[in-house]
Structure 1
Amino acid sequence: MRILVVEDDADLRRQLADVLSQSGYAVDLAADGEDGQFLGETEPYDAVVLDLGLPKIDGVSVLKSWRKEGKTFPVLILTARDQWSEKVSGFDAGADDYLTKPFITEELLARLRALLRRAAGHSAATIECGKLMVDTRAARATVNGEPIKLTAHEYRVLSYLMHHQGRVVPRTELVEHIYDQDFDRDSNTIEVFIGRLRRKIGQDRIQTERGLGYRLIVPEDEARVAG
């Protein structure tokens, strides 16, 4: 999952980048509203953390522009302002949630996870696909209750497929959502990650749709048991 953080405070920006990266996300950063608006309009994000008090273009204006352009990614407003009128302005502009500085990083992560789950149609912190489970709080996966050891990129691929299970996810979409902007992207590595995941979670959980992409499904034997 790929997150954009638009925050003008350099220390907080680095802190958020570290926390989000350690939690399994690909993270892009913008230090002002102009850069943030451009990235939001040109890159595919799963969610955005947006400060309101930004230089060049304020956060509310940035958010209004995104929504006007048809961008539907969830947005968590992060700001030092605590007046109710500022919160109303943020929500009216299209924000999905609101967090006031100073904040506890665990709360920010929890709110972000909830936004990502709701955007993908999931309600619980643990996402299941048959006997395969991903705990989004701990960024861990299990099969039949047994933990799976995954690299950071393997987890990002699996997490994205889990959030969008049952749907064919194009390879290009996976590339866009598991790497940050500065990463030297190679779409061929997706096949490597898919191969590794199949060996770890079972060969029949990820289907290859030729010319289209990959689909995460419940294996037939597990589906029969559940039925």
Structure 2
Amino acid sequence: MSSVQANNGARNPVGLLSGSVSYCAAVRDIRLFFPEGLCGADSPPLEEEEINTLTSDPILGLNTSPRRRLVKYERRTLVSLRGWEQLQSVERPYLAALCQTTCLILPAALGQGTGRPPYLELLEELIGKDFLVTGARLTAMNHPQAGFITAILSVTESEASSMRSVLTEGPCLVLAAQRDNAVVCFEALLTGDYCQKRPALDCTRHLLYPKTEKQAEELLCRLFDFLTSASVHQIENLDSF
């Protein structure tokens, strides 16, 4: 089932879900939207339809020189100025001066169980704290890729061993989220009253996130090949230059 956004004539966009109308249509839609394959274990229906299952991240390369870079675009905003008869396009670079984009990795352990997934508490809190999600991927990592991520995060060897195990346990949800001081303030958000809730404690125990802007930029460039048009930051492919 694919997620879409629709306006429906309302003032605020409304989130909708669009599902395939038949089994044959579902197979076609999966091949269209997920050409690299699906996250999860092999199953007879997938094998019969020749749909691949991911055992590694298709865009996370281990090369020392990244193939992509993160660039920041100044946003133009339409504003209505008193005395003007129409909206004018005015450059307002100060709107994006403090804006940062962070990269959050939620391992498979956060989606296990029969109750409400604990990561939903985190997502709701992020939105409540004015974070804007500008990218989302569900992916799988092999051991070399998991080791590469721990190297970017500059963790100790004991922490790295635990992280590699968690990252290769199953599908990981990777998010790009922006707001003012998204990287430098994230640690403070995690230590607030919100984290006294049990679901939040379960979530933050395995959540992986960058501590510096340099780490955030490298994670974003390794784990995403594009971000939404609403993002202040965009990812450029260096192969095209």
| Same fold per superposition (TM over 0.5) | no
TM-score normalised to the size of structure 1? 0.25
Bigger Cα Rg: 2
Structure with the bigger RCO (C-alpha within 8 Å, sep 6+) is 2
Higher helix share: 1
